[in-house]
Amino acid sequence: MEKSTITLTRKIQLLIDVPSNEKNEMWEKLYRYQNRCFRAANLIVSHLYVQEMIKDFFYLTEEIQYKLADANKDQMGMFNRSKTNSTARMVFDRFKGEIPTDILGSLNNTIQSTFSKNKADYWQGLKSLRNYKKDIPIPLPVKCISKMRYDSEKKAFCFNMFALPVKTYLGRDISDKRLIMEQLLREEIKLCTSQIQLKDRKIYWLAVFEFVKEDHALKPEIIAEASLSLEHSIVVKANNIRINIGSKEEFLYRRLAIQASQKRIQTGIAYLRSGKGVKRKQKALYKTENLESRYVNHRLHVYSRKLIDFCIRQQAGTLILKNQEDKIGIAKDNEFVLRNWSYYELQTKIKYKAEKAGIELIIG
């Protein structure tokens, strides 16, 4: 039976909601949690790999039992507890008192799940064992969030995470983040285990919400056919109606203009006045930081939204993306197209929007 819900992630900036003289202590706590997650993640994945490789240690005697199971439940088992609990107990004992065990438990479950999915590729040599970096996000279980509310004086949504008071910073919020937070307070949607990302002394909440799929009375027999290209970002046809979404002038030329602008700034930096002040020299460059990626991300959201809205208007329950494999192959052979294509990202955005709207997506 098809699931009636879908999970979506929203990136929301958080501010520490304590007096200024207490903020350094809070930052120290968060960075300590991140460091322990980084160390624990690499320990867990290393233990999982060794556990799986034990059966390939040909030099072990026949008396050695190597079934990865609890000895109390399976006579061939080699563990004194369950496989999942083996790595969990290992990091609990190693980092006891330095980080909440709820974080470690959530981290252990995530890594176990990821390892299981990639296990076959590890054995075939298609993937290398994953290495977790120091900027790893901190898991945020739902039970670690409390006192969720909207504060009209601060004009922000406030809550406690790990007993640390924080508030949201939504800025202009041209997306649906405020609406989603309001729905969460009204308990119309469900909050799942999320993550906290620390970057450049800023806190980002990668919040995962569970939505009920939209009901648009779509008809599976009505098929919309879409094609992605450089000339028009999306060309879609359904019920003898055809529309073009996006254009080369709108997307590609604007993107190339941003690239040229950044190149001029980088070239000009070399001829600025000598002396100290790297930040002063690169001030113009900082202003355009991530400008291209932000522009591309916004346009792809707009294009994918227009495509799904068209399918809903036409009551198309099936959406086919035609000839994608051939176009991806052509793009890989052309460096310019590969650099400026971005259609894998567009395809990803179409996929989750179609799933949310209840439209079956077929990629040909």
User: Which residue has better confidence, 5 or 335?
Assistant: 5
User: Cα(152)–Cα(278) distance, rounded to whole angstroms?
Assistant: 41
- pLDDT, position 166: 94
- pLDDT, position 182: 92
Band the pLDDT of 338: cuts 50, 70, 90: low
- pLDDT, position 74: 64
Express as a percent the part of the chain with pLDDT over 70.
Answer: 84
- Whether the pLDDT of residue 317 is over 80: the answer is yes
- Whether the pLDDT of residue 69 is over 80: the answer is no
Residue intervals of the chain classified under CATH 3.30.420 are 219-363
Over residues 67-90, the mean pLDDT reads 67
User: Cα(16)–Cα(168) distance, rounded to whole angstroms?
Assistant: 9
Buried b (16+ CB within 10 A) or exposed e, 215-244: ebebeeeebbbbbbebebbbbbbbeeeeee
User: Cα(148)–Cα(150) distance, rounded to whole angstroms?
Assistant: 7
- pLDDT, position 316: 92
User: Cα(158)–Cα(148) distance, rounded to whole angstroms?
Assistant: 6
User: Which residue has better confidence, 221 or 52?
Assistant: 221
Token representation of residue 52? 């799986």
Token representation of residue 306? 């227009």
- β-pairing, 316-321 vs 219-228, is parallel
Over residues 225-244, the mean pLDDT reads 86
- Whether the pLDDT of residue 76 is over 70: the answer is no
Please tell me the least confidently modeled range out of 41-55, 173-187, 315-329: 315-329
- Whether the pLDDT of residue 10 is over 50: the answer is yes
Please tell me the least confidently modeled range out of 16-30, 191-205, 332-346: 332-346
Over residues 20-33, the mean pLDDT reads 92
- Whether the pLDDT of residue 116 is over 60: the answer is yes
pTM equals 0.76
Over residues 269-274, the mean pLDDT reads 71
Q: Mind spelling out the 3-state secondary structure of the chain?
A: CCCCEEEEEEEEEEEECCCHHHHHHHHHHHHHHHHHHHHHHHHHHHHHHHHHHHHHCCCCCCCCCCEEEECCCCCCEEECCCHHHHHHHHHHHHCCCCCCHHHHHHHHHHHHHHHHHHHHHHHHCCCCCCCCCCCCCEEECHHHEEEEEEECCCCEEEEEECCEEEEEECCCCCCCHHHHHHHHHCCCCEECCEEEEEECCEEEEEEEEEEECCCCCCEEEEEEEEEECCCCCEEEEECCEEEEECCHHHHHHHHHHHHHHHHHHHHHHCCCCCCCCHHHHCHHHHHCCCHHHHHHHHHHHHHHHHHHHHHHHCCEEEEEECCHHHHHHHHHHCHHHHHHCCHHHHHHHHHHHHHHHCCEEEEC
Between CA 19 and CA 25, with CA 24 as vertex, the angle to 5 degrees is 90
Quick: pLDDT tens for 169-182: 988 766 788 999 99
Residue type at position 329: G
- pLDDT, position 1: 41
- pLDDT, position 105: 92
Over residues 13-38, the mean pLDDT reads 93
Quick: pLDDT tens for 347-362: 889 998 998 888 999 8
Q: Which of 34-43, 78-87, 125-134, 286-295 has the highest mean pLDDT?
A: 34-43
CB 223 within 8 A of CB 171: no
In the numeric block, the tokens 């997307």 are attached to 251
- pLDDT, position 321: 87
User: Which residue has better confidence, 234 or 342?
Assistant: 234
Using alpha carbons, select from 23, 7, 25 the residue that is nearest to residue 15.
23
Quick: pLDDT tens for 132-166: 999 999 999 999 999 999 999 988 999 999 989 99
User: Which residue has better confidence, 361 or 82?
Assistant: 361
Q: Which fold has domain 219-363?
A: Nucleotidyltransferase; domain 5 (3.30.420)
User: Cα(79)–Cα(191) distance, rounded to whole angstroms?
Assistant: 35
Mean pLDDT of the chain: 84
- β-pairing, 5-16 vs 360-363, is unpaired
Helices 101-124 + 83-94 axis angle, to 10: 130
Band the pLDDT of 241: cuts 50, 70, 90: very high
